[in-house]
Amino acid sequence: MTDAVNIAFVSAAGLGAVDPLLVWIAVACIATLLAQAAVAKWADLALLAQHLAAYGLPAAALRAGALALPMAEGTVALLLLTPLRGLGALLAACLLAAYAALMAWHRWRGHELDCGCGGEPLPLSWALVLRNLGLALLAVVAAAPLTTREMGLADFFVVAAALLLGTLLYAALNQLLRHRRGMASRNTLWRRS
């Protein structure tokens, strides 16, 4: 079944076999991202419920949504590290694309919301929409069938280094977006004076 899911998903995306190094970098990055998001959301379910309410989830569904979302992210992160990698990658791509679509809808409507990604507040922006679409594409790579090349010890070090670099770049992008938003609000206040 796993091979069937991988083949169906990847053929729909137009990907052929990919070097295992690239696939495992994608798997490591997406699994780490989703695991971190799940842990951050679990750490403050009340805040997550507030975010879900701001996104328009009905009050009756807030508690269930606040429990289901981090469970889904954590489950998908784990699936990526099992023989069900293809299914995990499909679900990760769907989650990330859905997040991007929801963010885009709210930005298009002019709503000023926190992304609700977990961790420090980060205002919604078109850059976050593009970030999530890029991550969804990375999840598609995580589903790709592997070429027959064997991974060596050096490859695993490259995966670890790429994961570290990806994590640092992700954190830097988020900090840059926070800083940019802060500078824009300061400039607005300064002009009004």
> What's the average pLDDT block by block, 10 residues per block, for the chain (193 residues)?
55 75 96 95 93 93 95 98 96 97 94 82 90 96 93 94 94 86 52 48
Output b/e per residue, 81-109; b: 16+ Cβ within 10 A: eeebbbbbbbbbbebbbebbebbbebbee
What is the reported pLDDT for 190?
46
- Which residues are registered as beta bridge partners of 18? 146
pTM for the structure as a whole = 0.83
Q: Are 23 and 146 in contact, with CB atoms under 8 Å apart?
A: yes
**pLDDT for residue 60:** 93
